Amino acid sequence: MNILIITIGDETVASSRTRVYQYLPYFENDKMTYKLMNYDGYGGNQRLNLKIRRVLKRIFIAAYIVFNMFRFNNIFIQKVLFNNLMLNLIKFNSFLFKTKIIFDFDDAIFEHSKISDELFSGIIQISDLVILENDFSKKKVESINDKANILLATGPIDTNRYIKKTNLNKDKIIIGWIGSPSTTQYLLLIKDVILKICKENSNVLFYSIGSNLLLNEDEKKYIKQFAWELNTEVEILQNFDIGIMPLDMNAWSEGKGGYKILQYMSMNIPSIVTPVGINKKLIQNGFNGYKVDNTKEWYEKLLVLINDEQLRYEMGNNARKAVLDKYSFEHYYKFLKKELL
């Protein structure tokens, strides 16, 4: 079994890391060979203004696909939208050489203003398998190709990496969030609630990983921001006692993958979330977290978990069990392997 893998980014790019790179040890363990190519030619730690390098790399990859597709049983395309010429060439070569086309995407990229409907529809129409995260995206794919072969893979999450550290010596209860600068906007939805909670409860702090909140000196007493780094995210997450995922109620949120919730759940952390999209499925209200609709409920449910250590423990254990059963790499890999063979 030989697989050509085209990713949108390197291992520092969240979607590529979670949707491709963390599967590679499983491929190697099963003696599947692969050729991995990063289409955009950059990762999270590189400057994005290297346009010439990126263009040259894209040309090279396009040429490689055209002239080497016969070598591969599968071509796995992660989130890359090729132009119409490339789509037609891939389609022709896949027919000629019996190569299976697999397209994987996470969030509802079809809702993004910069994404071409034509190119998204094009890759869906020629794919033998589409791997996606949630029912919202599934409905979109089925509206384009009602005969599409779909594998619904929420996350998945590496449950061997995201593990709770139990022997922490802390004197504070930590409410936490993980994301990126571009998603800091969601934290602003409940920033005032967070500050109110922390000011009223001297034993509570808020940690954010990857955000770029603009804080005054007083706010910095209660909110601590950490830069996201692959080698430190787990260590910081291990301090969380409560994880949060606030969102807007819109189509983009409907199509999000809920990965931060899976990170919390895998690490025995109860979550409080906005009930939109996959969040409604991941969180069972009162069992492994809470779904809240407004700032009043955010305040009330945060206090419930802050004041009840046993409840946090029980909800966290329930969350971890759900991840192991339904959302781990081990769970999804058996389905992906069946499709690849």
Can you name the residues that pair with 2 across neighbouring β-strands?
Answer: 33
pLDDT at site 1: 87
Whether 168 is covered by a domain: the verdict is no
pLDDT at site 53: 74
Burial 64-78 (b: 16+ CB within 10 A, else e): ebeeebeebbbbbbb
Whether 20 is covered by a domain: the verdict is yes
pLDDT at site 12: 87
Helix (H) / strand (E) containing 119: helix 117-126
Whether 337 is covered by a domain: the verdict is no
Regarding whether 131 and 207 lie in a shared domain, the answer is: no
Regarding whether 119 and 184 lie in a shared domain, the answer is: no
Our CA angle for 329, 333, 334, nearest 5°, is 135
Regarding whether 66 and 193 lie in a shared domain, the answer is: no
- Helix (H, G, I), strand (E, B), or coil: what is residue 239? coil
pLDDT at site 45: 45
- CATH number of the domain at 58, please: 3.40.50.11930
Whether 102 is covered by a domain: the verdict is yes
- CATH number of the domain at 243, please: 3.40.50.2000
Residues 53, 83: contact at Cβ < 8 Å?
Answer: no
Whether 270 is covered by a domain: the verdict is yes
C-alpha closest to that of 264 among 212, 302, 191, 317 = 317
pLDDT at site 42: 46
pLDDT tens string for the chain (341 positions)? 899 999 999 888 889 999 999 999 999 999 999 999 998 754 444 444 567 777 788 889 989 998 999 999 999 999 999 999 999 999 999 999 999 999 999 988 998 867 788 999 999 999 999 999 999 999 999 999 999 999 999 999 999 999 987 766 688 999 999 999 999 999 999 999 999 999 999 999 999 999 999 999 999 999 999 999 999 999 999 999 999 999 999 999 999 999 999 999 999 999 999 999 999 999 999 999 999 999 999 999 999 999 999 999 999 999 999 999 999 999 999 999 999 88
User: For residue 222, what are the contacts with CB-CB under 8 A and spacing of at least 6?
Assistant: 194, 195, 198, 199, 205, 206
Residues 250, 141: contact at Cβ < 8 Å?
Answer: no
User: How many domains in the chain?
Assistant: 2
Regarding whether 120 and 72 lie in a shared domain, the answer is: yes
Whether 300 is covered by a domain: the verdict is yes
Regarding whether 100 and 195 lie in a shared domain, the answer is: no
Residue 61, Ramachandran bin (φ over 0: left; ψ between -120 and 50: alpha; else beta): alpha
**For residue 64, what is the DSSP state?**
H
Q: Tell me the pTM.
A: 0.90
Regarding whether 202 and 69 lie in a shared domain, the answer is: no
Strand (E) positions, 198-341? Answer: 204-209, 223-226, 242-245, 271-273, 289-291
pLDDT in tens, 228-282: 999 999 999 999 999 999 999 999 999 999 999 999 999 999 999 999 999 999 9
- Helices and strands: H and E segment counts in the chain: 15, 12
Range of the structural domain that residue 118 is part of: 2-153
Regarding whether 188 and 97 lie in a shared domain, the answer is: no
Where does residue 261 rank: exposed (0-12), middle (13-18), buried (19+ CB within 10 A)? buried
Cα-based torsion angle of the residue sequence 163, 167, 173, 175 in order, rounded to the nearest 10 degrees: -10
Chosen domain end from 153, 187, 222? 153
pLDDT at site 50: 60
Whether 332 is covered by a domain: the verdict is no
Regarding whether 182 and 300 lie in a shared domain, the answer is: yes
Cis ω before 156 (30° cut-off from 0): yes
Regarding whether 264 and 201 lie in a shared domain, the answer is: yes
Regarding whether 301 and 219 lie in a shared domain, the answer is: yes
Regarding whether 184 and 147 lie in a shared domain, the answer is: no
Chosen domain end from 153, 187, 211? 153
Chosen domain end from 100, 121, 153? 153
C-alpha closest to that of 177 among 52, 261, 120, 88 = 261
pLDDT at site 307: 97
Regarding whether 137 and 182 lie in a shared domain, the answer is: no
Give the Å distances, CA to CA, from 157 to 162, 209, 225, 288, 329: 8, 18, 24, 17, 6
Whether 42 is covered by a domain: the verdict is yes
